[in-house]
Amino acid sequence: MPSDASSKRAKALRQQIAHHNERYYADDAPEISDADYDALVRELARLEAEYPELIDDASPTHVVGAGALSTAFTPVTHRQPMASLDNAMDDAELAAWGERVLKGLGSERPRFVCELKIDGLAISLRYENGRFVQAATRGDGRVGEDVTANVATIASLPRSVVVEGIAPKVIEVRGEVYLPTAAFQRLQAAKEAENRERVAAGRKPEPVPVNPRNAGAGSLRQKDPTVTAGRGLDLWCYQLGEIEGGPQLLNHAASLKYLHDLGFPVNPKIKVVEDLAGVIEFCKHWQEHRHTLPYEIDGAVVKVDSLAQREVLGKTSRAPRWAIAFKFPPEERTTILRDIKVSVGRTGRTTPFAELEPVFVGGSTVSMATLHNQDQVAVKDVRPGDTVVVRKAGDVIPEVVGPVLSLRPAKSKPWQFPKICPCPLRTELVRPEGEADTRCVEPACPYQRDQRIIYFASRGAMDIEGLGENTVFQLSDAGLVADAGDIYSLTREQLLTLEKWGATKADNLLSAIEGSKQRALPRLLTALGCKGLGPSASEALSRAFGTLDSIMLASEADLARTDGVGPVIAASIVRWFANAGNREMVEKLRAARVEFGKVEVSRLPQNLSGKAIVVTGTLDGYSRESAEAAIKDRGGKSPGSVSPKTFALVVGTEPGASKLTKAQELGVPILDLAGFEHVLATGDLPA
């Protein structure tokens, strides 16, 4: 028999899950992430499996989850119930499901259809005599909401369905309504702009959409269809429901082809595989490439192909046994925002960041996340003590997306940006008119000093292995470095006085420092940290002037005439070299025999001359730096952002979603590894 504690916990879990179902399905305003919700359901399922006496027919583990339906829409009873799917959270659970399928079919061997799990809102579409007549949400699986007028605004929805002049008498199609990434970003940007106006006028900001799923669901369930029409919703269809007067279909793959032939949008990434190894390969591929798509996915759906085999396998009270959803590791979680603090960068820019209750998201434990700038904190209205949504996608810096307002503490107050630099000098922070950033303008600020040294030694600059953030802080605290020039006067004896430093560690660092003296001029220029002077402009200046001394002596006008530099960067360079402290540092570098005039000239054909190629993500056989170098060695440019002038976007694994979305919006050609190597070899796009 279950203990009192187990019984109470099961009851509490059911209450929590019912509450979150209401917030998710009825209100489109969840208080926790999908991963946190799944954890509650799985905990309840484990308790019920251990103590069958706790099982309740109304348990969330036995029903398709939905809260009370909205009174704004007419109820619709589904002629065929819309089931939910069981989840597999890893390869082992996916394999266990596959074994259950094999056992259930005996000697028969199934084929599987693998689909992307679109992060949207399930929908049922009904057609009679070829004409669209009704759309309904899934609801609780038996009864949904009539959203016909809103779904009718989706451009990809076929208004009539006919194949070779014949329309089925009745056809019901299941699919997923979703908000494309680009449309979500437009909606989010519009709300943030509106909030900036509200904050400037002294009014309270409104919630900013935190993810495409919730924004899409809210867009679909608008009372006014014209609002829905302006949101840019789209649709993928993935299942045939009720049908009268149609062909006899024997498998799922054939039904998908039939839907496509009728004009329904069917996702092109669907794949039929012969065994579970193929299933696992499909899931692994899309887990790695999920951000190459112009819409959000949170997993893969795997189905037995044969409709006859599905009948044999049957279903449970809430889900078919012939299908499963493989969930990717969560990229969004909810946690507590403990405090908001500011960091000071090498240029004095102050950046607010969140100290979080540690949470596992995006493959790692996150305890800090960026808040970008003062305006973003105000627009999102995040406050210490809030429950917040944290997002981390691949290698992207963790970000606080927004607060869960329904869980905000009663006495919460808006966070105020500090007026004083957190460094020991305690100087006043300044926000120049017209700028989004607040800065510490005291050149002696120790936080700026340390960040300048860290930047100088970073991989994209002088690339001094072993001279990372913690080492710089240690050297700075010990009084051994005051600027980047002091790096080159460090001795073995000095390093050995530091805590936890031995001979090997000291020798390795000194060797890396010595090796950095021969870096090419573009790296040295970048490392100096002039505001606005990045790798591309440094490369152009190096080729144009040849030595650091020539650049120091050049006029602002001469610098500005260099391709890719312009008057703003030119003025920044002149100001930087006019500063006595900076000139002193340069002379330290000269005294240490750091190379001032090493310009590497490519002997490769300049077949990319005048072409801008942007690289995002990781390419097999290339680092980010080597891919960009391959472009520049052939006369091309590799800027950090996509524009109408971009020749092509090269996409590897874990690409930046904003670059991909921008390229799709502008019609910029998108290349994979093979396409990239074709462009390098020929200077032309693949046929």
Residues annotated as catalytic are 117
In Å, how far from its chain's centre is CA 124?
A: 29
SS3 364: strand
Asked if 101 and 324 count as a contact pair (C-beta separation under 8 A), the reply is no
Sheet order of strands, 646-651 included:
612-616, 646-651, 670-671
Sign of CA dihedral 263, 267, 269, 271: negative
E strand residue ranges, 89-169: 112-118, 121-128, 131-137, 143-145
Q: Which amino acid is at 213?
A: R
The total number of residues shown for the chain amounts to: 687
Name the nearest CA neighbour of 65 among 44, 46, 91, 48.
Answer: 44
* Tokens matching residue 427: 């100087």
SS3 600: coil
Question: What Rg do the C-alpha atoms of the chain give, in angstroms?
Answer: 29
Alpha helices in 461-519 (DSSP H): 469-477, 492-496, 503-516
Phi-psi group of 443: left, alpha or beta (phi > 0 → left; psi -120 to 50 → alpha; rest → beta): alpha
Distance CA 401, CA 395 (A): 16
At 299, which helix (H) or strand (E)?
A: strand 297-304
Q: Percentages helix, strand, coil for the chain, rounded to the nearest 5?
A: 40, 20, 40
Asked if 99 and 275 count as a contact pair (C-beta separation under 8 A), the reply is no
Q: Which amino acid is at 55?
A: I
| CB burial string 455-466: b at 16+ within 10 A, e below | bbbbeebbbbee
Q: What are phi and psi of 339, to 5 degrees?
A: -160, 160
Q: What are phi and psi of 253, to 5 degrees?
A: -60, -40
